[in-house]
A and B are shown apart, each in its own frame.
Chain A
Amino acid sequence: MTNSHNHNHNKNNLVTFLRHNQPITPQPSPDLEQQIIDSLEPRHNRKRYRTVTWSIPSAIATGFLFTTVSFGVRTPRIAIEPKDLENFLVNNWQDTLNARNNNVMSDSEAYWLLPTVSESKQALSVSAQ
């Protein structure tokens, strides 16, 4: 108890001595304050900076997505099944038969497989001669 009391007493004496006799801090140079203020870097608006920062990757991601989707739609698909190939031929080779008259081949499969009315009449008349 006595030791503890003495210890605290000594500690308090030392701390009091230190505080009372701590060296006086030298005064700053008169222009230090202004010098510091002048040295401050201009602060960027963080919100604006963040918006710009985020808009760039967003734009890139959107463009990439758009390109991927459109490219995927336009990519020719390969017909694996014979039925798919047949459908593809039916739907796409009509123009090669009669490039002059596009209206003839417009509707259905049955329509383009049959000869047109005008052509058949011509054919009949030739055979009659």
Chain B
Amino acid sequence: MSEMLASKQASKADTESETGVQTEQELILLCQQGDRECFRLLYQRYQQRVRSTLYQLCGKALLDDLVQEVFLRVWKGLPKLKKTKYFSTWLYRISWNVATDRRRKLAKVRDKTSFNEQYADKDRLEYDKDLSNTQDAPDLMHLHYQDLVQRGLDNLSFEHRSVLVLHDLEDLPQKEVAQILDIPVGTVKSRLFHARNLFKKFLQQQGISF
């Protein structure tokens, strides 16, 4: 978490020192005019958030491709963005669209059950690989909990997962989540309630209770 904050601050400092750009809106305006270097700064500033969201929604497979797809769509759509102050919401919306498209494509290719099994196996292998790489890490319990959270997210439907990721993990307010997903705030609250309950049940099955 502290690394993330540090990288955000560093990128912000880079933005201000290299180009003299002070505000995010100025940066976006320059990007709208076709300034690639400003777009690079914009990428540096937001890629971690986009990457994290996509990872929580879609997993590790093709993550780089998905991030690239998001930023290419951003570049293409930027000239049409009128209210630059909503850039962040718009960016999350694009990320969510890309994640949805990805899931639809996968659903077309494979039937759901075999996909889930295959994916769970793949994620399990990747997790084991990560675990083997971090054998020296002191807190194995923490890794175990991380695995539980990942599996708990996989266990949720995409609708519930989206709300939980955006609100509880990405720390976005309910109103913004509603704008990103294009649903009423009441629906966000309802989905969040159900998603948390389902998650709690999953954790209880794994021996963790609150």
Which residues does chain B contribute within 8 Å of A77, judged by CB atoms? none
- Please state if B48 and A25 are interface contacts (CB–CB under 8 Å): yes
Residue of A nearest to B79 (CB): A46
Residue of A nearest to B149 (CB): A21
Q: How far is the CA of A40 from the CA of B47 in the complex (A)?
A: 16
**CB proximity to B under 8 Å, residues A91-113:** none
- Please state if B168 and A26 are interface contacts (CB–CB under 8 Å): no
Which residues does chain A contribute within 8 Å of B210, judged by CB atoms? 10, 13-14, 17
Q: How far is the CA of A106 from the CA of B1 in the complex (A)?
A: 102
A48 at interface, CB cutoff 8 A:
no
Which residues does chain B contribute within 8 Å of A33, judged by CB atoms? 40, 43-44, 47
**CB proximity to B under 8 Å, residues A30-79:** 32-33, 35-37, 39-43, 46
Which residues does chain B contribute within 8 Å of A37, judged by CB atoms? 36, 39-40, 43
Considering residues B64, B142, B169, B196, which has the most beta carbons from chain A within 10 angstroms of its beta carbon? B64
Secondary structure of the B side of the interface? Answer: helix
Residue of B nearest to A39 (CB): B72
Task: Render B11-33 as a binary contact track against A, CB cut-off 8 A, 1 for contact.
Answer: 00000000000000000000001
Q: Interface residue count for B (Cβ, 8 Å)?
A: 40
Which residues does chain A contribute within 8 Å of B56, judged by CB atoms? 22-23
- Please state if B142 and A41 are interface contacts (CB–CB under 8 Å): no
Question: Which 8 pairs between the two chains have the least Cβ-Cβ distance?
Answer: A43-B34, A21-B145, A13-B210, A25-B55, A23-B150, A25-B52, A10-B210, A21-B149
* Residues of chain B whose beta carbon lies under 8 Å from any beta carbon of chain A: 33-34, 36, 39-40, 43-44, 47-48, 51-52, 55-56, 60, 63-64, 67-68, 71-72, 75-76, 79, 142, 145-150, 164, 168-169, 171, 196, 199-200, 203, 208, 210
Known interface pairs A14-B210, A18-B164, A24-B146; 20 further A-B residue pairs with C-beta atoms within 8 A, sorted by A's residue number: A11-B196, A13-B210, A14-B196, A14-B199, A14-B203, A17-B149, A18-B169, A18-B199, A22-B149, A23-B146, A26-B60, A28-B51, A28-B64, A29-B64, A36-B71, A37-B43, A40-B39, A42-B34, A43-B79, A46-B79
Q: Can you sample 6 A-B contacts with CB below 8 Å?
A: A10-B200, A18-B169, A21-B146, A24-B146, A36-B72, A43-B33
